[in-house]
Amino acid sequence: MTFVRPVLKLLAAAAVATSSAGAFAQANAYPNHTVTIVVPFAAGGPADIYARYLAQRLGAEFKQPFVVDDRPGAGSIIGTSVVAKSPADGYTLLMMSNTHTVNETLVPNKPFKLMEDFVGIAPVNYSDLMLVVHPSVPAKTLPELIALAKSKPGKLNYASSGTGTPYHMAAELFKHLAGVNITHIPYKGSSGARTDVVGGQVDMMFDAVTTMAPMAKEGKVRGLATSGKTRNAITPDLPTVAESVPKYEATIWLGLMAPKGTPPEILNKLNSEIRKIVAQPDVKANWGAQGAVPMSMTVPQFQQFLKDDIAKWAPIVKASGAKAD
């Protein structure tokens, strides 16, 4: 008996060493064939555009193809489910956004749980939104809009690209913190929402700065504020919402995740390379012209960021009474 125990300990230690060596070898060889980045949103949107940008840069660095596979539908759930069921080997990745962190509360009966079935790799970038109103709305500033909304509870309305989207949540956070009642008019995409705000069928909306800044300049809409912590470089004369509504911040951000169980060595390898890419001056300049700001975090930092974002939006989703379409 005294002889058997030491032998068992040696065998167990050898097994651990062999497993560690295997994981290291796998990560060291990664990638040795095509990597797919699944985008669970429509082609041509921010997630698709920046996924393709990253795919090109990562492919050039790793000398292996990184391809983008758009799988839109059901508010990102269809494409995300595909990745959740994929092998945890680093060859199927998910381009995700804060739609996913909102959906953790908005859609509790999904076929996956974000923090149980996935692990974060790295954030990519964030973009501010602009709060705009149709020129017929008698409010020239954000304080005036808040006063108008308080004088007419439920009479003003706002458009969004759909329930649970960043545009919708930005408005609900505004309502919650400003203490106003504005009616939500959801659309199936931002194009229809934007068209009806410009046409005057809907009073206002939160939309991408890069999209709305030119329209505001042309007088098609009136810009009142941007949604980030600081004034946006594209519209430096426009105040932030937070200048009138303390603690307000709502952006659209993107990140990469992988199926749970993906070796840490692979996660760290991808994280390191993505952080190098987003730190490059030409990337910052290119994205900055589009209104996007690079984000950089370690794997643990991004994990915590995801948890915090889920916690941030949970009470806003509940207070809004929003239900998944």
Q: Say if CB 26 and CB 266 are below 8 A apart.
A: yes
Query: What is the full per-residue pLDDT of the chain (325 aa) written as tens digits?
Result: 555 555 555 555 555 555 544 555 556 799 999 999 999 988 888 899 999 999 999 999 999 999 999 999 888 999 999 999 999 999 999 999 999 999 999 999 999 999 999 999 999 999 999 999 999 999 999 999 999 999 999 999 999 988 988 999 999 999 999 999 999 999 988 889 999 999 999 999 999 998 899 999 999 999 999 999 999 999 999 999 999 999 999 999 999 999 999 999 999 999 999 999 999 999 999 999 888 999 999 999 999 999 999 999 999 999 888 887 6
Which run of H or of E encompasses 208? Answer: strand 204-208
Distances (CA, A) of 254 to 65, 134, 151: 21, 29, 37
CA distance 125 to 49: 12
Structure tokens at 274: 């993505």
pLDDT score of 11: 56
Residue located via tokens 């923090």: 115
List, as one string, the DSSP characters of 48-77: HHHHHHHHHHHHHHHTS-EEEEE---GGGH
SS3 assignment, position 121:
strand
In one letter, which amino acid is 192? G
Residue located via tokens 């058997």: 4
Dihedral angle sign, alpha carbons of residues 110, 112, 115, 116: positive
CA distance 277 to 205: 33
Task: Report the residue count for the chain.
Answer: 325
| Phi, psi angle pair for 211, to nearest 5° | -80, -45
Q: Say if CB 29 and CB 70 are below 8 A apart.
A: no
In one letter, which amino acid is 240? T
| pTM (two decimals) | 0.84
pLDDT score of 62: 98
Peptide bond into 239 cis (omega under 30): no
pLDDT score of 5: 56
Q: Say if CB 214 and CB 221 are below 8 A apart.
A: no
The closest of 127, 77, 67, 78 to 254, measured between CA atoms, is 127
Burial of 235 (0-12, 13-18, 19+ CB in 10 A): buried
Which run of H or of E encompasses 252? Answer: strand 251-259
In one letter, which amino acid is 254? L
Structure tokens at 17: 């060493």
Dihedral angle sign, alpha carbons of residues 51, 52, 58, 62: positive
CA distance 16 to 118: 24
pLDDT score of 22: 55
pLDDT score of 218: 97
Residue ranges of alpha helices (H) inside the chain are: 4-29, 46-62, 77-84, 98-106, 114-117, 142-151, 166-178, 190-199, 209-217, 264-278, 281-289, 299-320
Q: Say if CB 268 and CB 120 are below 8 A apart.
A: no
Q: Say if CB 223 and CB 212 are below 8 A apart.
A: yes
